[in-house]
Amino acid sequence: MEFAAFAERAEAMAAEDGDLATVGLVAESLTAAGDDLGIVARFLRGAVFPGWDGRKLSVGPSLCHEALARAAGANVTADDVETRLAETGEIGAVAAGLDLGGQTGLSAFGGGTGGGDLTVREVYDDLVAVAEATGDGSESVRLDTLFGLFTRASPTEAKYLARLVLGEMRLGVGGGALRDATAEAFLDAAVTTPADEREEDDRTAELIGLVERALQVTNDHGRVAELARDEGEPGLRDVSLAVGRPVRSMLAQAGTVSDALDAWETAAVETKFDGARVQIHYEDAAHDDDTADAETGPVSIYSRNMEDVTAALPELVEHVRDHATPPAIIDGEAVAVDDDSEPLPFQEILRRFRRKYDVDRMREEVRVELRAFDCLHADGDDLLDAPLTERHDRLHETLEAGVSELLVSADAEAIESFEADALEAGHEGVMLKRPDSTYSPGDRGKDWLKRKPDVETLDLVVTGAEWGEGRRAELFGTFEVAVRVGDDYATVGKVATGISDEELADLTDRLEPHVTTESGQTVTFAPEVVFEVGYEEIQTSPTYDSGYALRFPRFLAVREDKPPADADDLTRVRRLAGDE
Ligand code: AMP
């Protein structure tokens, strides 16, 4: 495709407000793209390379301005370009307004036709050269190459060339529009309603879903468009993960234990590790010769944004080499730990992640370990569509150390106590996952919920307790906690989780002298001690005399500094419950 034709089509898209009309224009462009389909699809999104591809143009605004100024001739400087940019606010308009290639430089480049002879493929090839220029002199290679392109561009071409190299196409073509257009152009999907109004069950939705899935797996609009055109539905259904080519990470929404159990009945719970997301690709040794990097072998590690961070994390590479079986794609968290493998604060991992220099020295200062929690591919099997629990089993088979503990339970208390243990161990919370959910790359859906400790806590007076059982018969087990109501106290819940054995012994010693009545297992206390209590939710409830009940209350600490008269009152509870 001529680059001029691409630019004209881009101009039409930029001028179109309607979503459906835009999809139609994109579909027409894809159909007209011929051999350049992959490139055109990516260019329309302002990308030169697929999402998984680590190559970057490394063209910042000043380089682009310099190239434009040079192409505009001796009378225009980069400062002039910047002044014009300040006036118009948009580089495409500035580029279109310059008289490019009309003066110096033309004879040297044999162009000067004012556009018309550039092709999409030439632009692509030149931008690949820009991205791949390295070392001394790479800056001038980039500048010369861009200058060469701009001198050959018509005003409209220059507009979209400038926008493309800066990654800001402004066509109003989102990922959804390109996806829908791909289905319309090559799968006969009739896109007649915008995405947000579309019925989920019709044929069009099915075809669009197929394209979407292929995009998730490949992270390449270009390749998906080519597959749709050349191999149709079967081709798209067949696309598979490639070990060594990263996919986007599945993400989580905030949620509570009650949200999880209400929706799924059973929840899979695991520690929420406070580190940096890593996706580890371990290629089969058979592929070594083609793919291995001399330093790291066939292990590559990607960040949540699919950036290659392998070089920064040599101990994870070693860990995977020592404990995993290729081929595999493992999802997990890189955490900074102390000498006992206990978690360190999040800031510590930042000192290691993405580090390019002094990796060995920093390795001495901050230790990093893997906490793996998912497996996308094992032993030749793509697992994206397998249920979470099966993926976790496969993870255990694939990796013999550093795998997260997964508890699948329908029992809120068991989950609560798992959470209390996680917090006790210094982690930031837990993840709750739907046990039968598939892995949905890039999706921040409702199948994964992150549950962090409460932001708001309550300071509550301990008004009663129950003796423990078995080996804890000598200790209090469950504590009744209450809010202040004037000079009196009204119960809001019973706290049994979040308390270590040591703390339980201490609390028993401290509270026993304040017992006022005892009946069977149950005692009441004079109001003396205040607990700081975390919880998930406050509900109205007839169970307690306050009229409210804390869901999943958790002991956090004794408020040594607070007398019962300063504990929280019923008004605060009402407010937190949303009743005031
Ligand atoms: P947030 O960054 O607060 O949105 O929380 C989601 C992030 O938690 C994920 O992207 C992971 O990096 C991280 N995470 C830590 N532990 C887990 C786990 N067990 N399962 C999934 N994600 C986890």
Say how many Å lie between the CA of residue 434 and the centre of ligand 1. Answer: 15
**CATH 3.30.470.30 residue spans of the chain:** 253-451
SS3 label, residue 370: strand
Sign (positive or negative) of CA dihedral 496, 499, 501, 502: negative
What phi and psi, each to the nearest 5 degrees, are found at residue 14? -60, -30
Q: How far is CA 125 from CA 31, 121, 178, 257, 414, in A?
A: 22, 6, 23, 53, 58
Tokens matching residue 580: 């005031």
> Quick check: 478 and 485 in contact, CB under 8 A?
no
Tokens matching residue 460: 């509550």
Strand 251-254, strand 444-451: pairing: parallel
pLDDT of 96 reads 95
Nearest protein Cα to ligand 1, atom 22: 272
Residues in the chain predicted with pLDDT less than 70, given as ranges, are 102-116, 199-201, 285-297, 454-455
pLDDT of 286 reads 57
> Quick check: 149 and 118 in contact, CB under 8 A?
yes
SS3 label, residue 265: coil
Q: Give tens-digit pLDDT for 373-386.
A: 999 999 999 999 99
CB 452 less than 6 A from any atom of ligand 1: no
Sign (positive or negative) of CA dihedral 85, 88, 91, 96: negative
User: What is the overall mean pLDDT for the chain?
Assistant: 91
Strand 537-540, strand 548-551: pairing: antiparallel
CATH number for 458-576 (one of 2.60.40.10, 1.25.40.10, 2.40.50.140, 3.40.50.300): it is 2.40.50.140
The C-alpha atoms of residue 158 and residue 328 are separated, in whole angstroms, by 44
Q: How would CATH label the architecture of 47-165?
A: Orthogonal Bundle (1.10)
Q: Quote the pTM value.
A: 0.77
pLDDT of 112 reads 47
Q: How far is CA 284 from CA 40, 281, 293, 328, 373, in A?
A: 33, 10, 13, 8, 21
The C-alpha atoms of residue 551 and residue 258 are separated, in whole angstroms, by 8
CATH number for 253-451 (one of 2.60.120.260, 3.40.50.12160, 3.30.470.30, 3.90.380.10): it is 3.30.470.30
CB 333 less than 6 A from any atom of ligand 1: yes
Say how many Å lie between the CA of residue 141 and the centre of ligand 1. Answer: 41
Ligand 1, atom nearest to 271 Cα: 19
Ligand 1, atom nearest to 404 Cα: 19
Which residue type, as a one-letter code, is found at position 486? G
Query: What is the Cα gyration radius of the chain?
Result: 31
Strand-pairing partners, residue 377, are 329, 382
Q: For residue 404, give the DSSP letter.
A: P
Sign (positive or negative) of CA dihedral 494, 497, 498, 504: positive
The C-alpha atoms of residue 375 and residue 66 are separated, in whole angstroms, by 47
**Is 272 noted as a catalytic residue in this protein?**
yes
The C-alpha atoms of residue 333 and residue 279 are separated, in whole angstroms, by 8
- Identified catalytic residue from 56, 159, 272, 356: 272
Give the contacts of 156 (CB within 8 A, at least 6 positions apart).
4, 7, 8, 11, 96, 115
pLDDT of 550 reads 94
**CATH 2.40.50.140 residue spans of the chain:** 458-576
The C-alpha atoms of residue 421 and residue 500 are separated, in whole angstroms, by 9
Among residues 527, 516, 538, which one has the least CA distance to residue 565? 527
pLDDT of 297 reads 57
pLDDT of 64 reads 96
- Other C-beta atoms lying within 10 Å of the C-beta of residue 100: 33
CB 353 less than 6 A from any atom of ligand 1: no
